[in-house]
Structure 1
Amino acid sequence: MTITQPDLSVFETVESEVRSYCRSWPAVFDRAQGSRMYDEDGHAYLDFFAGAGSLNYGHNNPVLKRALIDYLERDGVTHGLDMSTSAKRAFLESFQELVLRPRDLPYKVMFPGPTGTNAVEAALKLARKVKGREAIVSFTNAFHGMSLGSLAVTGNAFKRAGAGVPLVHGTPMPFDNYFEGTVPDFLWFERLLEDQGSGLNKPAAVIVETVQGEGGINVARPEWLRALADLCVRQDMLLIVDDIQMGCGRTGAFFSFEEAGVVPDIVTLSKSISGYGLPMSLCLFRPELDIWEPGEHNGTFRGNNPAFVTAAATLETYWSDGSAMEKQTRARGEQVEEALISITEENPDDVREYRGRGLVWGMEFHEKARAGRVAQRAFELGLLIETSGPESEVVKLLPALTITPEELDEGLRIVARAVRETAETV
């Protein structure tokens, strides 16, 4: 694909140096629909990024767009803090009827603010308030957000360094298979909890991702998650599952922890909960944990009513028969896995491992810098993919759940080509 160098001058002179994705994809995007984005010159890009998981149902999904336009055209409330509105009521009723009740989940719903890290901060604060303890245990290679509390339970050294202050009251433990099966699960963690001389303060909670997206697509086994849940019960710790990127159907079921059969005490959701890419997040928790005083945790933009509208439309469109969405995602995931098997077999000396669940997959290379070159070549060929892992050593595939089999196959062929062609340049 021949690309004319776009005019990036205003971004380079006015916007902060902190910008990142635009450096990997030097195009000026103008419109998007479904699984494709278009730059201002009309070049099309197949999207295997999906707004970092915020667009599980594609760009400008027509059903969700219609609901949003109708709401705005009738002058529906756009900003309402935590006031009761018809849009919020419609979302809560849909969420209760289509998500919570079918799964026998009794959670109370809190709107802590519009982003994922807002939900994590609320979860950590609530856990500490309930248990009266400060310490939180997280896991190696975890990512939970960019505000200070979330960074304290994030593993990435580069992200943590940006805080500029000590990140306290968080203790990391080994994630599943961190020692590649040579150490029994939770041996170190439980020993520290039981040893009065270990120096580990009794944690209020444990926070975990069932699949570590930013950490390199590290997939926790169901039995590991069940053992963690049991450990939390035995040691009087709350279990927090961060489902911000892996929830809303990304791994197949609506919640990523369903396969393991665990019921977390607290769950955080964001990204695709609005369905349309509009900022929205939820903190869900068992009713007995709802000990907040009115106004004790608030935020100006926690009541994003346009997001409530698209979120309700998303649930009614895609989750009124949740099994259909789940089956489709799993089928698309099998399509991805087959392609990654072929790529691995064709490049046995280059690909270290592929791994994933549902429609989140990663491919790790022996040479860590290779992943970045694959992503760059894929962009040149018209595909948007990013890298993940502590050293950006994993190519990350995160297409929309609504992508067609033909689009998925097209993108996977580009990935295979990018792997081949970057091998030739080494």
Structure 2
Amino acid sequence: MTKTDMKVFEKLESEVRSYCRSFPTVFTKAKGYKMWNEEGKEYIDFFSGAGALNYGHNDPVMKSKLVDYILNDGVTHSLDMATAPKAEFLETFNEVILKPRNLDYKVMFPGPTGTNTVESALKLARKVTGRTDIISFTNGFHGMTIGALSVTGNSFKRKGAGIPLQNVVTMPYDSFVNDDLDTLEYLERFLEDSGSGVAIPAAMILETVQGEGGINAARFEWLQRIESICKRWGILLIVDDVQAGVGRTGTFFSFEKAGIIPDIVCMSKSIGGYGTPLAITLIRPELDIWDPGEHNGTFRGNNHAFITATAALDYWKDETFEKSIQEKSERIYKFLEDIVAKYPEIKGEVRGRGFMVGVASEIEGLASRVSAEAFERGLIMETAGPNDEVFKLFPALTIDESGLEKGFEIIENSLKAVLGTKELVGN
């Protein structure tokens, strides 16, 4: 077999590429929580497609159903025409996910990506309320198209728009300054005072756990107060569950334990089950005032994704899977707490919830070095936060105990190696 020359990517692919710089090898195979490169080197995947592969790589049941569908000439592309796979997904999602949680939402297919669902949510909120402004939160990340980018906090990403990003007011997320400052008292004061310069917005949009922004988990009390504020002022609450949803924080929806019910929910990434592109926007029925075709997209009818998304819902038909996530989540969190206690010199802080966790370090560059060292040792893990100050763990929810332990061992050995380098001395 001819080995792929990495220079082909430098020569022919845009400079905008990023992950292939962090993980400089050519991958050829993936199964479960493992990936292999051309040389046959095995990697444990604690990245999971940035949360798009919550069920791991090439789940056998999803693969079998998808292959059968393809071999039987099932419809691939259908825009939003009626197809059997779409009907089955809608019915299964309603019966397995929405009804048991006493949730009543209409399902919109806005296109295949997370930024598509956010764009549709912002447009609908403005259409429903007749207002233009949106309140977003510091360190939020919601996508790379103009509307979604306008509610994203990262200045590097925002700069890429090339134009002013308007009609958005950014407010401090929970514990943005410190744990003692009540950020919602600050927010409410802006809404109450007609001299604040902040108009009553159409919506507030937030992640209950901020992924790219640094694995910041909002307290349940904070989320409950956000919901109360929104109800008081007639503001729609949009929860972006693109990365934090589908079990990543321990429950199917990341907001379940907070006891809140958003007006609109944005989902993508792992909702497709297999890594197949799919996004959905969940809308309270009374808010579903779209005119036919008012928001559309060529690839909103990805039937291959409907097949795998429906198969993935089998995991949620009883409580077994969710319990296993929560049990393994405790082990992951304890491992990180032990790391922080064992190596006080990293000045670390454990962040996150469920399988969406990481360690933030005050030592400049530490997280990036640990991630790079882990890759050399056979583990794929990325960083997060405005200064890449967090190394984050995103294993597949289906990972076994052996996989977790091997991953833990590599992370600790990588940290030891980095702490032993001269470059870190004096930071």
Q: TM-score scaled to structure 2, two decimals?
A: 0.97
**Which AA in structure 1 matches 2:50?**
A
Q: Name 1:262's counterpart in structure 2.
A: 260
Q: Spell out the pairing of 1:348-367 with structure 2 (5 A cutoff).
A: 348-367=344-363
Distance 2:53 2:340 in 1: 28
| Contact 1:6–1:26, Cα closer than 8 Å, also in 2 | no
Q: Name 1:139's counterpart in structure 2.
A: 137
Write out per-residue CA displacement over residues 381-411 of structure 1, whole angstroms, 9 at most, x where no aligned residue. 0000000000001001000000001101110
Q: Name 2:316's counterpart in structure 1.
A: 319
Displacement of 1:181: 2.5
Q: Spell out the pairing of 1:128-277 with structure 2 (5 A cutoff).
A: 128-277=126-275
Moved runs in structure 1, 4+ residues, more than 4 A? none
**Which AA in structure 1 matches 2:313?**
L
Task: State which of 405, 411, 417 in structure 1 corresponds to 2:407.
Answer: 411
Q: Secondary structure of the residue that 1:27 maps to in structure 2?
A: coil
Q: Spell out the pairing of 1:344-383 with structure 2 (5 A cutoff).
A: 344-383=340-379
Displacement of 1:41: 1.3
Distance 2:113 2:98 in 1: 21
Q: Name 1:339's counterpart in structure 2.
A: 335
Displacement of 1:185: 3.8
Q: Secondary structure of the residue that 2:344 maps to in structure 1?
A: coil
**Which AA in structure 2 matches 1:416?**
E
| Contact 2:316–2:322, Cα closer than 8 Å, also in 1 | no
Counterpart check, 1:392 vs 2:388: yes
Q: Structure 1 unaligned segments of length 5 or more: list them.
A: none
Distance 2:358 2:88 in 1: 37
Counterpart check, 1:109 vs 2:99: no
Write out per-residue CA displacement over residues 53-109 of structure 1, whole angstroms, 9 at most, x where no aligned residue. 000000001011001001101000000000000010110011000001111111000
| Contact 1:371–1:395, Cα closer than 8 Å, also in 2 | yes
Write out per-residue CA displacement over residues 169-213 of structure 1, whole angstroms, 9 at most, x where no aligned residue. 111101011121232241111111111111112200000100001
Displacement of 1:342: 1.8
Write out per-residue CA displacement over residues 100-144 of structure 1, whole angstroms, 9 at most, x where no aligned residue. 111111100000000000000000000000000010001000000
More displaced 10-residue stretch of structure 1: 244-253 or 180-189: 180-189
Q: TM-score scaled to structure 1, two decimals?
A: 0.97
Distance 2:169 2:358 in 1: 27
**Which AA in structure 2 matches 1:379?**
F
| Contact 1:249–1:325, Cα closer than 8 Å, also in 2 | no
Counterpart check, 1:59 vs 2:48: no
Q: Secondary structure of the residue that 2:350 maps to in structure 1?
A: strand
Q: Secondary structure of the residue that 2:78 maps to in structure 1?
A: coil
Displacement of 1:338: 1.6
Q: Name 1:21's counterpart in structure 2.
A: 19
Distance 1:24 1:179 in 2: 30
Q: Name 1:91's counterpart in structure 2.
A: 89
**Which AA in structure 2 matches 1:351?**
K
Q: Spell out the pairing of 1:276-315 with structure 2 (5 A cutoff).
A: 276-315=274-313
Displacement of 1:324: 1.4
Q: Secondary structure of the residue that 2:345 maps to in structure 1?
A: coil
Q: Secondary structure of the residue that 1:186 maps to in structure 2?
A: helix
| Contact 1:144–1:151, Cα closer than 8 Å, also in 2 | yes
Counterpart check, 1:34 vs 2:32: yes
Distance 2:137 2:4 in 1: 41
Q: Name 2:420's counterpart in structure 1.
A: 424
Distance 2:414 2:347 in 1: 13
Q: Secondary structure of the residue that 1:250 maps to in structure 2?
A: coil
Distance 1:355 1:274 in 2: 27
| Contact 1:127–1:205, Cα closer than 8 Å, also in 2 | yes
**Which AA in structure 1 matches 2:332?**
V
| Contact 1:31–1:38, Cα closer than 8 Å, also in 2 | yes
**Which AA in structure 2 matches 1:378?**
A
Displacement of 1:344: 1.0
**Which AA in structure 1 matches 2:125?**
A
Displacement of 1:31: 0.9
Displacement of 1:6: 6.3
| Contact 2:173–2:183, Cα closer than 8 Å, also in 1 | no
Task: State which of 45, 51, 67 in structure 2 corresponds to 1:47.
Answer: 45
| Contact 1:144–1:150, Cα closer than 8 Å, also in 2 | yes
Distance 1:327 1:413 in 2: 24
| Cα RMSD (Å) | 0.9
Q: Secondary structure of the residue that 1:207 maps to in structure 2?
A: strand
Q: Spell out the pairing of 1:5-20 with structure 2 (5 A cutoff).
A: 7-20=5-18
**Which AA in structure 2 matches 1:176?**
D
**Which AA in structure 2 matches 1:58?**
G
